[in-house]
C-alpha cells in the first residue's frame, strides 16, 4: 500500500469558529498526496460535529476523538503515532495552510531526501487586540532563517546565543520525517505540558535530528496571531501562575531528557539557555498581561513554585528597565502607586529572603538603581516641602498687605490730608479722639492711630 507523502496532524479543542477554515485550506491543496489526522481534544463545543460534517466522504481525512482533554502536546503525540506519511506537518485548528504547500514541499524534499526537517515561512494575520505592527514583527522573526544545518548546530541555532541569526522553536512551521518525529515523540513526556510546549517538543526534535533546511521564502502557514494564547490580552493571576507551573514542569522533563541523552555539554548549555529564556518571557508576560494588583500577588505565588532565585531573575529585567527609564528622564519623579514602588517592594522582600551569596552581583546592581530613584524621590519631596513653606510665607505676607490696604481705605495715615481734618474734628487725647482709635481697632484691627 502506498503511503501518502505528508501526514497533517491537526489538533483542535473548542475551535468551532475556526476549524472549518483550517480544513478548507487542506482540502484546497493543489496536490492531494497527503492524509490529515484530526485529533479532537475532547471539545465541549460543536467542533467534532463541524469536523465530521466537513470531512465526510473524504478518505484522506481521519478523526480521532479523545475522551479526555490532555492538551496540545498529548494531542500531537496521539496524531504522530497514527501517521503513515513520509513526513509530518503539525497544524493548529485555528490556522491555515497555503494551497501550494504540499506541491512545493514534495518537489524540494525529493531533490534532497537526506534532509530530515524542512522549515518553511509564515504569513501572519492579527486577531483580537493584536495590532498589525506585532503581526509584522512576528513575520520577520519567523522568516529570517536561511540555509542548511547539521548536527548540534540545529539545536544551538535555536536554543543559544552562541551562533548568529537565532531561529524560532515552533514545530508548526516544519515538515519532519515521520521516523524522526515518531522517535522523538515517543521519547517525550506522557503528561500535559501547556504554555510554550512547542519549545519542549522542538528541543527534543532538534536534539534528535541530523539535518535541517530553511526555506522560509515558502510561506506555507497562515498564522492568526492573537487567536489563542498569543497576543497581549489580559490574564488573571490564576492563569499566570498556571503558566509558570507548566513551564517549571517542562524544565524538569527536559532535564530528565538531557540527563539521559547528553554526551557532552551542548544539551545542558542549551537547556540552561532555554530556562533563562523562559524566565525572560514570563517576566514580559507578567508586565504586559497582569493588572497592577495581580502583579504583586503573582510574585508571591510563583516564589513557591520556582523559588526565590528564579523569581528574582524574572523580576529584575523589568525592574531595572523601569528604574533606568526613570533616571533617564531629567525631571521625572514616579508618583505613588506606580510600578517602581510595587516592583521595588517585591524585590526587597525576595532580596531579604535570599542567602547573601545568591545572585549577589545582580542584587547589588538592583539595590543601586533603586536607591538612585529613591534619592531622586526624596530630593523632590524636600524641594516640594521647601516650596510649600515659601508659598505659605508669601501667602501670609500677601494677606498682611491686603489687610493693610483694606484698612487704609477707611483710615488715612497721619500725614494725609484726611488725617489733618480728623485731628481738627477729633484731636488725639480728647474724648472724640479716643473713640476714633477704639472704633478703628475693633472694626479693622488697625492700631496705626494709637500714639
Q: What is the pLDDT of residue 450?
A: 46
What is the distance between the alpha carbons of residues 139 and 288, in angstroms, rounded to a whole number?
Answer: 21
Give the separation between CA 254 and CA 267, rounded to whole angstroms. Answer: 10
Q: Of the segments 205-219, 324-338, 415-429, which one has the largest average pLDDT value?
A: 205-219
Instruction: Give the residue extent of every domain in the chain.
Output: 1-111, 114-289, 291-379, 385-444
**233/242: higher pLDDT:** 242
| Angle, alpha carbons 55-58-61 (nearest 5°) | 65
Query: What is the C-alpha end-to-end distance of the chain, expressed in Å?
Result: 128
pTM of the model: 0.82
d(CA 160, CA 166): 8
- 101's enclosing H/E stretch is helix 101-111
Confidence class for position 1, pLDDT limits 50, 70, 90:
low
Residue 90 phi, psi dihedral angles, 5° rounding: -90, 135
Give the number of other CB atoms < 10 A from CB of residue 177: 21
Sort strands 117-126 and 211-225 into parallel, antiparallel or unpaired.
Answer: parallel
Phi, then psi, of 146 in degrees rounded to 5: -155, 160
Q: What is the pLDDT of residue 398?
A: 84
d(CA 115, CA 15): 33
Tens digits of residue pLDDT in 212-236: 999 999 999 998 877 555 556 789 9
pLDDT in tens, 25-73: 999 999 999 999 999 999 999 999 999 999 999 999 999 999 999 999 9
Q: Which fold has domain 1-111?
A: Spore Coat Polysaccharide Biosynthesis Protein SpsA; Chain A (3.90.550)
> In whole angstroms, what is the distance from residue 191 CA to residue 259 CA?
19
Q: What is the pLDDT of residues 84-107, one digit of tens each?
A: 999 999 999 999 999 999 999 999
Q: What is the CA radius of gyration of the chain?
A: 37
> Mean pLDDT over all residues of the chain?
89
Judging by beta carbons within 10 Å of its beta carbon (0-12, 13-18, 19+), is residue 424 exposed, middle or buried?
Answer: exposed
Supply 259's cell numbers: 540527563
Q: Which three cell numbers stand for residue 349?
A: 522582600
More confident residue, 181 or 138: 181
User: Is the pLDDT reported for residue 392 higher than 90?
Assistant: no
The CA-CA-CA angle for residues 77, 79, 105, to 5°, reads 110
Could you tell me if 128 and 227 are in contact, meaning their C-beta atoms sit under 8 angstroms apart?
Answer: yes
Task: Kindly state the average pLDDT of the residues 434-449.
Answer: 62
- Residue 324 DSSP code: H
Torsion, CA 74, CA 184, CA 36, CA 112, rounded to 10: 160
Amino acid at each position: 500500500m502506498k503511503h501518502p507523502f505528508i501526514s497533517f496532524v491537526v489538533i483542535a479543542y473548542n475551535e468551532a469558529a475556526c476549524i472549518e477554515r483550517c480544513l478548507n485550506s487542506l482540502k484546497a491543496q493543489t496536490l492531494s498526496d497527503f492524509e490529515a489526522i484530526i485529533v479532537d481534544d475532547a471539545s465541549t463545543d460543536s467542533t467534532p460535529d463541524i469536523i465530521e460534517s466537513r470531512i465526510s466522504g473524504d478518505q484522506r481525512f481521519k478523526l480521532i476523538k479523545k475522551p479526555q482533554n490532555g492538551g496540545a502536546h498529548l494531542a500531537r503525540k496521539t496524531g504522530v503515532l497514527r501517521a503513515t506519511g513520509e513526513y509530518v506537518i503539525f497544524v493548529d485548528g485555528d490556522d491555515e495552510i497555503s494551497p501550494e504547500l504540499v506541491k512545493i514541499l514534495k518537489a524540494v524534499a525529493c531533490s534532497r531526501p537526506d534532509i530530515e526537517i524542512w522549515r518553511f515561512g509564515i504569513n501572519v494575520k492579527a486577531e483580537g487586540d493584536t495590532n498589525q505592527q506585532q503581526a509584522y514583527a512576528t513575520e520577520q522573526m519567523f522568516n529570517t532563517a536561511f540555509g542548511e544545518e547539521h548536527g548540534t548546530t540545529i539545536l544551538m541555532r535555536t536554543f543559544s546565543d552562541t551562533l548568529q541569526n537565532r531561529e524560532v522553536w515552533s514545530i508548526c512551521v516544519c515538515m519532519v520525517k515521520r521516523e524522526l518525529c515518531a522517535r522523538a515523540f515517543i521519547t517525550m513526556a506522557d503528561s500535559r505540558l501547556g504554555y510554550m510546549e512547542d519549545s519542549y517538543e522542538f528541543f527534543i526534535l532538534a536534539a534528535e535530528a541530523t539535518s535541517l533546511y530553511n526555506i522560509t521564502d515558502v510561506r506555507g502557514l497562515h498564522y492568526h496571531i492573537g487567536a489563542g494564547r498569543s497576543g497581549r490580552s489580559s490574564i488573571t493571576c490564576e492563569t499566570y501562575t498556571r503558566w509558570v507551573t507548566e513551564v517549571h514542569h517542562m524544565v524538569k522533563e527536559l532535564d530528565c531528557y538531557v540527563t539521559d541523552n547528553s554526551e557532552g555539554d551542548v544539551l545542558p548549555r542549551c537547556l540552561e539557555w532555554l530556562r533563562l529564556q523562559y524566565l525572560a518571557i514570563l517576566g514580559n508576560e507578567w508586565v504586559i498581561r497582569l493588572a497592577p494588583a495581580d502583579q504583586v500577588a503573582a510574585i508571591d505565588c510563583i516564589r513557591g513554585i520556582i523559588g526565590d532565585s528564579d523569581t528574582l531573575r524574572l523580576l529584575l529585567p523589568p525592574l531595572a528597565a523601569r528604574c533606568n527609564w526613570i533616571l533617564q528622564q531629567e525631571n521625572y519623579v514616579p508618583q505613588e502607586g506606580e510600578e517602581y514602588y510595587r516592583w521595588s517592594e517585591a524585590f526587597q522582600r525576595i532580596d531579604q529572603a535570599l542567602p547573601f551569596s545568591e545572585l549577589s552581583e545582580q542584587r547589588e546592581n538592583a539595590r543601586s538603581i533603586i536607591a538612585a530613584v529613591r534619592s531622586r524621590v526624596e530630593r523632590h519631596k524636600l524641594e516640594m516641602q521647601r516650596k510649600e513653606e515659601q508659598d505659605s510665607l508669601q501667602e501670609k505676607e500677601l494677606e498682611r498687605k491686603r489687610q493693610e490696604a483694606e484698612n487704609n481705605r477707611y483710615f488715612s495715615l497721619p500725614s494725609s490730608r484726611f488725617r489733618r481734618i480728623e485731628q481738627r474734628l477729633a484731636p488725639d487725647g480728647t474724648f472724640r479722639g479716643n473713640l476714633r482709635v477704639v472704633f478703628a481697632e475693633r472694626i479693622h484691627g488697625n492700631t496705626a492711630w494709637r500714639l
